Chains A and B, each alone.
Chain A
Amino acid sequence: MDALPTTRTCAILDRDGLQALIAALAARGYQVLGPVLRDGAILYDEIAGLADLPAGWTDRQAPGRYRLERRADEALFGFAVGPQSWKRFLHPPVETLWRAQQGEGGLLFSTAAGPSPRYAFLGVRACELHAIAIQDRVFCEGPYPEPGYAERRRDAFIVAVNCAEAGDTCFCASMDCGPQAEDGFDLALTELIDETRHAFLVEVGSAAGEELLTGLPRRAAADAERAAAAAVVARTASQMGRRLDTAGLKELLQDNPEHPRWSEVAERCLSCANCTMVCPTCFCTTVEDRGDLAGSSAERVRKWDSCFTLDFSYLHGGSVRQSARARYRQWMTHKLASWIDQFGTSGCVGCGRCITWCPVGIDITEEAAAIRATLPEPRGEDHGGH
């Protein structure tokens, strides 16, 4: 497997080199974000250096289950993905859109968004690169680009990490979204760790990445090191906990809105919205209008929303999707099917978060397979001849 495109510039960073990378990003004015250990999970937050990274920890994931465990080594990126994604920075969970003042001349609206920090993301997985690319399409490629997202996205510096470990709920390989980071990064790391070494093969993905790398203490990558990095990704690809058969999946879901499986899954689904909150591509939001008690000022706050809430489809008089069955169907059909109509790509990258963080362990790959396996006979099918 020729996992690393040979045209890319490669180098080797050791741990000090990685520390220098973080420092160089901070020196360039980036707010550097990376994985940190917190609240019993690996989350994404501001990091000052290597010491903040979850060295020696991994995550064990299963449907409805997430546990941290010690690793036998001191790997810095030896885990899959946690409950958060980079979405929370590019597309914040809560954001004030504008403020309004009631003055003598009437209402005055002013935009509330200040300048966003310039983010550097360290440790972006292949599935997450794809998720960011999908949200780029959602927010930037329509007739009305989302100005805040577009600005944060434009300014972001992305350091990807090739996964050395696939979780039990991972299925990026079958979604063509990993585990190899192929595109959409400035730099990409592959962690090489064994008894003899702890280093990072770094690939350049952009001019900005190249420029940054030039200033770092590094050495050339040997062929053996390139091969070792390729082997890491190949091993991960072979360890995928799950797969999703995407062949004809769009039509399968869109043509079967009355499949009995929707009712079956609705009996388990709690409509808790966890899957939509942890999903790195779910983009839906609602707004909250707040006024002060004096009635002189008001503001509009945008918040992440979920198609699992009743309010989501509210039309005067009632909600369109009253049943959990309809709401689950909407989520899954949107994610895997109508997303393709809307944005030319599936909305799923195979990160497995919706499976891990579902409190009852509903597995999107299993639901898709069940619908495929028990397709009802087409109505009106003629079995008896003429």
Chain B
Amino acid sequence: MPVALADPFLPQPYRVERRRRELAGTVTLELAPLAGACPAFAPGQFNMLYAFGVGEAAISLSGDPASRATFVHTVRHVGAVSGALAGLEPGATVGVRGPFGRGWPLAAAEGADVLVVAGGLGLAPLRPAIYAILARRERYGRVVILVGSRSPAEILYRRELERWRQRSDLEVRVTVDHADAGWRGHVGVVPALIPRADFDPQDTLALVCGPEVMMRFAANALLAAGIKAGRIHLSLERNMKCAIGLCGHCQFGPSFVCKDGPVMSLERIAEILAVPEI
């Protein structure tokens, strides 16, 4: 039973502790509460970040769930609010509501192989899941991380991916849609890596996040590889205003993406995933 907040609409003030440029137009902010510690969050959840006088946007949590000192958010400048957030410098205050939503069903992955499929910024909400898995690596079987990006210059968390790739207990593959001459890695879309990865389709939990089209392609490739729809989980994006299922904006068929998701099983959404304008 979730704990009812006194006023779920009221943001709490957080200070920008660190700001790190990730890619062109994309930064990672570390936010610390002006008072107390950050509430616990589950990998896959999101916060509503408020830029003073501009507005609020749903941004997934992308830091280590074991760390309670700060919230880590990777923000890409795509609109007025995300632009204002991405432009914040250390010392600035933001409003934070959250964490909200249902995250990745990591408990269901214990004892099984885990296949992480990320496209573009979709790696951000998956990173906490990867941290959580690595913290208890012995609980999982093979762990495969497939990452797709537009170009080598646009690979999110590139250095971290390099570090993970050095580990013998992880299979990390990164592919780009468009390669330059210096790129020696994979070229092609990330769903094409799925048949090449090493996992047991009978006992694998797949976690997918990226643009919706990419997730549809990935879902088809995962099904073709033999993973059941109930073991494939996607993180969806819809217009979120209230984050608690009261404003109606994020409806996706019968679901409220903010509270029934953002992570939902393919089994639940398969029928409407491809319906245009649903």
Q: Does A289 contact B (CB under 8 A)?
A: yes
Q: Which among B1, B6, B54, B246 is the interface contact of A138 at CB below 8 angstroms?
A: B246
**Is residue A193 contacting chain B, with contact meaning CB distance below 8 A?**
no
Whether the Cβ atoms of A317 and B78 lie closer than 8 Å is yes
With beta carbons under 8 angstroms apart, the residue of A111, A315, A330 that contacts B251 is: A330
Residue A383 lies at the interface, judged by CB distance under 8 Å to chain B: no
Tell me if B37 counts as interface (CB < 8 A to partner A). Answer: no
Q: How far is the CA of A145 from the CA of B246 in the complex (A)?
A: 9
Q: Report if A98 contacts B (CB, 8 A).
A: yes
What residues on A are CB-neighbors of B87 within 8 Å? none
Q: Which residue of B lies closest to A297 (CB)?
A: B53
Stretch at the interface among B7-15, B126-134, B144-152, B220-228: B7-15
- Given the interface pairs A105-B34, A106-B13, A298-B53, the reply to whether A286 lies near B241 with Cβ below 8 Å is yes
A323 to B275, CA, bound (A): 13
Check A254 for interface membership: any CB of B closer than 8 A: yes
In the complex the two chains form, what is the Cα distance from A342 to B247 in whole Å?
13
The interface on chain A, measured as residues whose beta carbon lies within 8 A of the other chain's beta carbons, has a size of 53
Query: Which A residues are CB-close (under 8 A) to B277?
Result: 320-323, 325-326
Stretch at the interface among A72-80, A116-124, A306-314, A356-364: A306-314
Asked whether A287 and B56 contact (CB < 8 A) given A107-B95, A142-B246, A144-B2, the answer is yes
Per-position contact with B for A254-289: 1 when CB-CB < 8 Å, else 0? 100110000000000000000000000001111101
Contact B246 A283 (CB under 8 A): yes
Instruction: Kindly state the separation between the CA atoms of A315 and B50 in the bound complex, as whole angstroms.
Output: 17
8 Å CB contact of B249 from A98, A108, A284, A342: A284
Contact of B278 among A97, A314, A326 (CB under 8 A): A326
Nearest neighbor of A313 in chain B, beta-carbon distance:
B239
Interface residues of B in 241-277 (CB under 8 A from A): 241-242, 244-249, 251, 253-254, 256, 259, 272, 275-277
Q: Give the docked Cα–Cα distance between A138 and B247 (Å).
A: 10
Q: Judging by beta carbons under 8 Å apart, are B246 and A139 in contact?
A: yes
A168 interface residue per 8 A CB criterion: no
Task: Tell me whether A46 is interfacial, beta carbon within 8 Å.
Answer: no
Instruction: Check B246 against A291 for contact (C-beta < 8 Å).
Output: no
Could you tell me the distance in whole angstroms from the C-beta of B147 to the nearest C-beta in chain A?
21
Q: Which residue of A lies closest to B247 (CB)?
A: A285
State whether the Cβ of B93 lies closer than 8 Å to any Cβ in chain A.
Answer: yes
A97 and B78 contact, CB distance less than 8 A: no
Contact between B249 and A144, CB atoms less than 8 A apart:
no
CB pair A342–B13 under 8 Å, yes or no, is no
Q: If A287-B56, A321-B277 touch, does A144 touch B251 (CB 8 Å cutoff)?
A: no
User: If the complex has contacts A144-B246, A317-B78, A320-B277, are A338 and B95 also in contact, measured as CB distance less than 8 A?
Assistant: no
In the complex the two chains form, is A316's CB within 8 Å of B249's CB? Answer: no
- Report the bound CA distance from A295 to B54 in whole Å: 11
Query: Is A305 part of the binding interface, using a Cβ–Cβ cutoff of 8 Å?
Result: yes
B158 within 8 A of partner (CB): no
User: Which residues of A are found within 8 Å of B34, using beta-carbon distances?
Assistant: 105-106
Q: Is the CB of B248 within 8 A of A144?
A: no
Query: Is the beta-carbon distance between A143 and B52 smaller than 8 angstroms?
Result: no
A111-B10, A305-B248, A322-B277 known; 16 other A-B pairs, CB under 8 Å? Answer: A98-B10, A106-B15, A107-B52, A143-B244, A147-B6, A284-B248, A289-B50, A291-B52, A312-B239, A312-B249, A313-B239, A316-B82, A320-B278, A321-B277, A330-B251, A337-B254
Nearest 7 CB-CB pairings of A with B: A291-B53, A284-B248, A106-B93, A326-B277, A341-B254, A338-B254, A144-B244
